[in-house]
Homo-oligomer: A and B are copies of this chain.
Amino acid sequence: MKTIETCISPDLLDLHELANKTVIVVDIFRASSTMVTALSNGVNVIVPVKDLDECKAYKKKGWLIAGERNGKQAEGFDLGNSPLAYLDRALAGQNVAMTTTNGTRAISLAREHAAEVLIGSFLNLQATVDYLQASTNDVLVLCAGWKGKFNLEDSLYAGALSWTLGWKHECDATLAMESIYEQVNGGLREYLQKASHAKRLQNHDLEKDIDFCLELNQYNSVVYLSEEGLKNKNNK
């Protein structure tokens, strides 16, 4: 019997055993949603990097660079952190280096010890579920959180994933978030309006991004961490 557990903050990851597990990193607003959208719209590879300076180095190699500060595209960058920039295959075939605050840290923590690292979002929930059902690995959802703290949208993704997988488990964090996902019953947007991060984004006029990040199953992609960076298993 395969199991699922949830780590609600990267700061708690050392309490969890990662060996032989598939770790799904999730940062719903907006890094992981943007990664899934980009790779579902033909972007070739995404390298998540720590800061703006590290990102800029990729520019010289002909890559697109994505980064933002205070809700706006950073100066000298090609893209901000909005998933909407990648729609309609606008950037198909490109390589992208992307800075994220909470997401990058979670990814680099996970890659050290896990058997496999995936990137999760509501946009490709069912595709990820199908992939996990077919795998023999146990699963750990790693919520990027907000500056080390619990956040509602990433944890709720863990509940959605577990609820959809339907596996038995004994992880209290997963149980709690499954309860909420069941209670929300499709009304993700309405529920997450109360979340602190959604409020921060609303202050930056980013409602369209929020709405998009909370749409279920728009893409049939499975996004994973390869030697070169993040890729879509469905891309050749």
Contact = CB atoms under 8 A, between A and B. Distances in A.
Interface string A166-181: 0000111101110110
Interface residues of A, number: 30
Interface stretch (A7-15, A34-42, A117-125): A7-15
Given A12-B148, A12-B149, A15-B11, A155 B176 contact: yes
Contact of A170 (B177, B179, B180, B199): B199
A176 B180 contact: yes
Given A8-B150, A12-B11, A150-B8, A196 B171 contact: yes
A161 interface: no
26 contacts: A6-B150, A11-B11, A11-B15, A12-B148, A15-B147, A15-B148, A146-B172, A149-B172, A149-B173, A150-B176, A151-B172, A152-B172, A152-B176, A170-B196, A170-B199, A172-B196, A175-B194, A176-B176, A176-B177, A176-B180, A179-B180, A179-B183, A179-B191, A180-B180, A180-B183, A183-B183
Given A151-B172, A172-B196, A179-B191, 12 more contacts: A6-B150, A8-B8, A8-B150, A9-B12, A15-B148, A149-B173, A152-B172, A170-B199, A175-B195, A179-B179, A179-B180, A179-B183
The 3 closest A-B pairs by CB, nearest first: A152-B172, A150-B173, A170-B196
